[in-house]
Homo-oligomer: A and B are copies of this chain.
Amino acid sequence: MDLTFTPEHDAFRMEARAWLEANVPPPGALRSLDTAEGFDDHRVFERQLFDARWSVVSWPKAYGGREVGIMEWLIFEEEYYRAGGPRRVSQNGIFLLAPTMFEYATDAQLERYMAKMASGEEIWCQGWSEPDAGSDLAGIRSKATKTDGGWLLSGQKTWCSRGAFAHRCFGIFRTDPSAERHRGLTYFLIPMDAPGVTVRPIAQLDGETGFAEVFFDEVFVPDEDVLGTIGDGWKVAMATAGSERGISLRSPARYTEAADKLVDLLLATPVDEGHHLDPRSAIADEVMKAYADAQAYKLHTYMTATKVREGHTVGAEASATKIFWSETDVAIHRAALRLLGESAELEVDDGRGGTDLSEWLDGYLFALSGPIYAGTNEIQRNVVAERMLGLPRA
């Protein structure tokens, strides 16, 4: 048992820190990711990251990575959050699609897509959910029918994060209409500018368009853009779902940095004198609970990373992890809003003559989606009970 980093790790950390300190834009400098202008602002920064080979540190060098291990990835993420790096516009591609690509893609596919994904030249959105298949992905109805040299895709996907502005989409479609549930599905890589694709942006709680509905009307996708085997889409997709829920999506630093800021906010909150019960102390316990959970998540991730590095795979534990990080994220931001009290609802000057959500309020709205997406926490609790504790299925 050794919880210290090696000198090589420390050197890697210092190199990342130096670059990030010099290059991360100040808070608010990039416009909101969920607007067309902000989307471009964020792509410019992705390009900078890529040019300095920081955008995908664990990937092969051929696609812009550094071929480093999971510990270095964790270190980079720690530094990224420490430096206050902006939300990653390429997140769906590099964190959700990429692990699946490295497992299932042909060399030609990797060649065609990975470097552009890493540089932010091509931003990917996900095409998982359908109006009647949210938590129940096996209920997918969108279909693909064979045609010369490829497939014609028809149907509707929804809750496509980044869907309003993305260049490409990954998702599963039913290729065998006679098969049901998990069978007869195939995984496709789809250009968003193909004829037949219609995007309807969906405004989220704050009124900005973080996701979209995407309609497919006989959209042609060539054979070479099938990922994995025809009919094998469920298995391929589950690899992505595993990544989404598992350790790769959520760096612990995201929570430990936020929790540290929360403690700062607590210590800066004036104590109200003149009564015996100090409400700051009452909220302090809630703050410290959130802090402790963020720390616990970090240590748990180190333990998981050790296992992964030693060849173990993460199974149902990914469901426990997803429950924990999503609820920790809500807890951190809710505690902050409680500290802010009546002013929590107020927007703040965005430095460009308008107002925008405060960092805490924005973070809270974002956090609230955590227990819902990537499989609701209700579904995840079923998985923990059935697969980790052996309870009988209903």
- List B contacts of A281 (CB < 8 A): 277-282, 284
Digit string of A7-30 for contact with B (CB within 8 Å is 1, else 0)? 000000000000000000000000
Does A285 sit at the interface, judged by CB under 8 A? yes
Contact residues, A257-288 vs B (CB, 8 A):
277-282, 284-285, 288
> Which chain A residues numbered 203 to 243 have a C-beta less than 8 Å away from chain B?
none
CB distance from A64 to the nearest CB of B (A): 47
Bound CA span A280–B284, Å: 12
| B residues less than 8 Å from A285 (CB atoms) | 277, 279, 282, 285
CA distance A288 to B279 in the complex (A): 12
Contacts of A288 in B (CB 8 A): 277
B-chain residues with CB within 8 Å of residue A279 when the two chains form the complex: 281, 285
A329 to chain B, nearest CB (A): 23
A355 to B280, CA, bound (A): 40
CB distance from A48 to the nearest CB of B (A): 42
Give chain B nearest CB distance to A37 CB in angstroms.
Answer: 44
Shortest Cβ gap from A10 to chain B (Å): 33
Q: A277-B281, A281-B282 are in contact. List 14 more A-B contacts (CB 8 A).
A: A277-B284, A277-B285, A277-B288, A278-B278, A278-B281, A279-B281, A279-B285, A280-B281, A281-B281, A281-B284, A282-B282, A282-B284, A282-B285, A285-B285
The 4 A-B residue pairs with the shortest CB-CB distance in the complex, in nearest-first order: A281-B281, A282-B285, A277-B284, A278-B281
